[in-house]
């Protein structure tokens, strides 16, 4: 119940504020013998690094990760892994004037009400920089899953009204455009759209889609720790998320059972498949062996440069003009955060599933 700790067996705890000494994460419950080094984790952090494109904050940070514990001779030891990224570019002065002001769409008001005061520098703990810890831990979760053949395809599905066309889906394209879209034409139009909104001093939202392949049948615990329920929490804990859906999602509410049910069939080799995947790879909260597919809706970045009405901490009505460095959209840099949280929540279920039957336990110990 302590808010910054996530997981039961594979446990992560993030710490750090936007303008403190650094951001970090502790990972406990990582098995021994996993090959890990800083350069591998860095490849994940680089996907959320600021300043990578004109659509992300120009804040200059290399966000270089350092392993402080839990790795010996290039392998995890089974003991806690501590990772840190020091904050470099802090420019607190940008924020001094909003210390007393509650920015619309931000957590300034709720933090002050809950705690009595807050670290107002750059959003403090509620800053997007907190996700650095999640991504670093997610890289390790991803490494565990990769060894078992579980892989992620995570990308921007839409930005504002501009959505990808599945006929033009190209996995390679994802990492080759600043918006992480799998459709280069949609990416082009989205860039133009973003450019216009930036000129309007406004921001936009979007949708991230994630596909997880190679998941064995059986992950997920009935009834509360269902695979999809844990995914929903993991993903909804990311700032700016307003919606989560699995498989046919909200569309399922308009479908008939005869449409939405996925028929099972055995192929010639006797292998089991589903003719369709409206389930999104989860039946009764347990993975069915098919791809897990989910979508996440993000709201527009609350930090916009237009003048806004709000109040200050004396409850006086005021106008606020936000300065500083802000992304016009959260989505592209959030793609790797969504992937990270999904990986982290899957590892717990992968581990717990090992104890689901006496046959498995006997085979392990005898």
Interaction with a copy of itself in 53-72: which residues (CB under 8 A)? 66, 68-70, 72
Helix (H/G/I), strand (E/B), else coil: 40: helix
Two tokens, residue 198: 């930036």
The answer to whether the CB of 19 falls within 8 A of the CB of 121 is: yes
151 or 176: CB nearest a copy of itself: 151
From 32-40, 41-49, 51-59, 184-192, span contacting a copy of itself (CB under 8 A): 32-40
186 or 241: CB nearest a copy of itself: 241
Residue 126 assigned ligand-binding role = yes
Of the candidate residues 96, 176, 321, 356, the single one contacting a copy of itself (CB under 8 A): 356
183 lies in the site for a copy of itself, by CB under 8 A:
no
73 or 172: CB nearest a copy of itself: 73
366 lies in the site for a copy of itself, by CB under 8 A:
yes
Closest CA to 12 of 74, 86, 63, 83: 83
For 97, half-sphere exposure in the C-beta direction (CA atoms, 13 angstrom radius) is: 8
Of the candidate residues 171, 255, 321, 323, the single one contacting a copy of itself (CB under 8 A): 255
Helix (H/G/I), strand (E/B), else coil: 272: strand
Closest CA to 234 of 155, 132, 332, 339: 339
Contacting a copy of itself within 107-146 (CB under 8 A): 107, 109-111, 113-119, 124-126, 130, 144
10 lies in the site for a copy of itself, by CB under 8 A:
yes
From 56-64, 88-96, 165-173, 230-238, span contacting a copy of itself (CB under 8 A): 230-238
Of the candidate residues 51, 178, 243, 324, the single one contacting a copy of itself (CB under 8 A): 243
Residue 284 assigned ligand-binding role = yes
Question: Cα 182 from chain centroid?
Answer: 18
176 or 251: CB nearest a copy of itself: 251
Separation between Cα atoms, residue 206 and residue 310, nearest integer Å: 25
187 or 286: CB nearest a copy of itself: 286
Residue 48 assigned ligand-binding role = yes
268 lies in the site for a copy of itself, by CB under 8 A:
no
Separation between Cα atoms, residue 227 and residue 353, nearest integer Å: 11
324 lies in the site for a copy of itself, by CB under 8 A:
no
Residue 299 assigned ligand-binding role = yes
Residue 303 assigned ligand-binding role = yes
Least distance in Å: CB of 263 to a copy of itself? 4
Which residue carries 């993903």 as its tokens?
Answer: 235
Residue 301 assigned ligand-binding role = yes
4 or 172: CB nearest a copy of itself: 4
51 lies in the site for a copy of itself, by CB under 8 A:
no
Which residue carries 């991803």 as its tokens?
Answer: 142
Separation between Cα atoms, residue 133 and residue 305, nearest integer Å: 28
Helix (H/G/I), strand (E/B), else coil: 154: strand
176 or 310: CB nearest a copy of itself: 310
Q: How many CB atoms lie within 10 A of CB 151?
A: 13
Residue 127 assigned ligand-binding role = yes
Q: Alpha carbon of 180 to those of 54, 169, 217, 232: distances in Å?
A: 14, 12, 30, 22
Closest CA to 218 of 58, 82, 72, 354: 354
From 52-60, 170-178, 180-188, 300-308, span contacting a copy of itself (CB under 8 A): 300-308
- Rounded to the nearest 10°, the torsion over CA 276, 282, 287, 291 is 40
The answer to whether the CB of 136 falls within 8 A of the CB of 44 is: yes
Interface with a copy of itself (CB under 8 A), residue total 168
Least distance in Å: CB of 111 to a copy of itself? 7
What is the widest separation between alpha-carbon atoms in the chain?
Answer: 72
Of the candidate residues 38, 64, 78, 211, the single one contacting a copy of itself (CB under 8 A): 78
222 lies in the site for a copy of itself, by CB under 8 A:
yes
Two tokens, residue 187: 């990416």
76 or 177: CB nearest a copy of itself: 76
The answer to whether the CB of 240 falls within 8 A of the CB of 330 is: yes
Binding site for FMN: which residues? 125-127, 284, 299-303, 325
């Amino acid at each position: 119940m302590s808010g910054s700790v996530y997981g039961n067996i594979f446990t992560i705890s993030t710490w750090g504020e936007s303008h403190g000494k650094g951001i970090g994460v502790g990972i406990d419950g990582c098995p021994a013998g996993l090959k890990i080094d800083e350069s591998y984790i860095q490849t994940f952090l680089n996907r959320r690094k600021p300043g990578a494109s004109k659509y992300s904050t120009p804040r200059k940070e290399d966000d270089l990760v350092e392993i402080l514990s839990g790795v010996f001779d290039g392998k995890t030891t089974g003991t806690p892994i501590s990772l840190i990224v020091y904050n470099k570019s802090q420019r607190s002065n940008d924020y001094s004037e909003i210390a007393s002001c509650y920015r619309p769409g931000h957590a300034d008001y709720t933090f002050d009400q809950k705690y009595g005061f807050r670290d107002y520098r750059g959003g403090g703990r509620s800053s997007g920089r907190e996700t650095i810890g999640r991504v670093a831990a997610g890289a390790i979760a991803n490494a565990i899953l990769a060894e078992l053949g579980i892989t992620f395809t995570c990308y921007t599905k839409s930005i504002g009204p501009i959505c990808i066309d599945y006929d033009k889906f190209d996995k390679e394209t994802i990492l080759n455009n600043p918006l992480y879209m799998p459709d280069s034409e949609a990416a082009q139009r989205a860039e133009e759209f973003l450019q216009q909104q930036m000129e309007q001093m406004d921001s936009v939202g979007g949708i991230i889609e994630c596909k997880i392949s190679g998941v064995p049948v059986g992950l997920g615990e009935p009834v509360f720790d269902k695979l999809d329920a844990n995914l929903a929490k993991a993903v909804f804990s990311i700032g700016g998320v307003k919606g989560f859906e699995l498989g046919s999602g909200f569309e399922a509410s308009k479908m008939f059972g005869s449409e939405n049910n996925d028929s099972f069939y055995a192929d010639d080799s006797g292998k089991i498949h589903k003719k369709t995947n409206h389930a999104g790879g989860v039946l009764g909260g347990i993975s069915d062996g098919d791809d897990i597919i989910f979508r996440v809706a993000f709201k527009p970045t609350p930090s916009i440069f237009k003048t806004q009405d709000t109040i200050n901490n004396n409850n006086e009505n005021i106008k606020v003009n936000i300065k500083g460095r802000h992304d016009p959209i959260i989505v592209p840099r959030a793609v790797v955060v969504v992937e990270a949280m999904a990986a982290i929540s899957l590892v717990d279920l992968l581990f717990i599933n090992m104890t689901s039957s006496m046959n498995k336990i006997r085979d392990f110990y005898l």
